[in-house]
Copies of this chain bind each other. A is one copy, B any other.
Amino acid sequence: MAPLDDYLLACQKACEEEIRRLCSPDDGGASGLFDLILDYPLRGGKALRPALGIATCLGLGGRLEAVLPTAATLELYHNAFLIHDDIEDESWLRRGRPALHVDHGIPIAVNVGDAMMSLSLQPLLDNVERVGLGPALRILTAVARMTRQTVHGQAIELEWVRSNTWQLGDADYLAMVELKTSWYSFITPLQVGAIAAGARPEQLVPLEVLGRHLGAAFQITDDLLNLRADPEDYGKEIGGDLWEGKRTLMLLHALDHAAPGDQRRAVHILGLRRPTADHDVPMGDLLDGLVARGELSPSGHAELVTRLAGSGSTPAKNLDDIRWLYRLLHRTGSLDHARAVADRQADDAAAALATLDWFPPSHHRDVLSELVDYVHERTR
């Protein structure tokens, strides 16, 4: 895998430089905005999206300069989505460090995400000089579609959690993931790379198919990795998707295949809110300690617990709930099912790549193959 790693690293470096260039000092330097914009990109993501765009463009005979600003824009969007996602999912960690909203507060993190999206438009307009008017407008149209699909997918997922919807099959999940993940992480990077190299509109169709399957395999695997560690060992930070009640393929499969009693219990747990970061867990211990030391009466304890449970006074999920869900996923064979679906999606991606007979053999095409293999490997 060393050649792929080298390629990804080169793309990451080129992109990082381009993003720094976009953050020109006359535009927000005073407020520290640019340091915050660069925070996530400099935490060392894999630059997968830029690499897909760059490999496609170069492999189809385009120039690096034709695609690099667009590739950097995709990396900006990706990191903006990550910042807003981390707020939306109440995630506390990102690439081994506190999430931006944990470090700087939700207000600043919301604005930094907005700023990254705002910075993305001008480089795409500058494409007119770079790749010509027609391709520039087609790239803009692709990006407009990408952002619409992404927020749509995100809205569906958030709504499933909010309304505790659970009677959903593999097809519902795959449709949501195509919107939420495939468009911005795979389909659009491949397509804008092709457009920057002067590809014809009909060539974009099989790239959409390739990106759709790659995205599904990638997201399912990501969700499986989120469950990799037993929450018994690692506590709250592992299995974050279960705390969040995220409708993953394995959770939906487990709900569909559980015995009626287990199904009811699982739906009940999923309807409980996630404990809030500040209070529930530490406050519980503190209150117990006060009662044990006789500093708090039982009725006072009950009153405080009710009030602390939040606006709706609804109870929260606890660690036992998460452990139980985790075991349910194993008991119903849902992890194996998800692995099989991801595997099939990766196979479909490999098949889609094999059909691209207008994409000549090259180092760059090999990189795309290796990326498909990489996603494939992750599913095992």
Contact = CB atoms under 8 A, between A and B. Distances in A.
Interface of A: 27-28, 30-33, 36, 84, 87-90, 104-108, 110-115, 117-119, 121-122, 125, 128, 133, 137, 140-141, 143-145, 147-148, 150-152, 154-156, 158-159, 162, 278-279, 282-283, 286, 290, 293-297, 299-300, 303-304, 307-308, 310-311
Given A121-B147, A159-B32, A300-B296, A89 B107 contact: yes
A122 B110 contact: no
Among the interface residues A30, A152, A299, which one has the most CB atoms of the partner chain B within 10 A? A152
A78 to B, nearest CB: 13
A152 B28 contact: yes
A179 B79 CA distance: 24
A88 B150 CA distance: 23
Contact of A152 (B27, B84, B156): B27
Given A28-B152, A152-B27, A144 B121 contact: yes
Shortest Cβ-Cβ A-B pairs, 9 listed: A295-B300, A118-B147, A88-B107, A121-B144, A115-B151, A295-B297, A33-B155, A31-B155, A31-B156
Given A31-B159, A295-B297, 6 more contacts: A104-B162, A106-B106, A111-B158, A112-B155, A140-B140, A295-B299
Nearest to A83: B110
Given A28-B152, A300-B290, A307-B282, A111 B125 contact: no
Nearest to A112: B155
10 contacts: A32-B155, A33-B155, A36-B155, A87-B110, A111-B154, A114-B147, A121-B147, A278-B310, A286-B307, A296-B300
Contacts of A140: 121, 125, 140
Contacts of A125: 137, 140-141, 144
Contact of A84 (B110, B151, B290, B299): B110
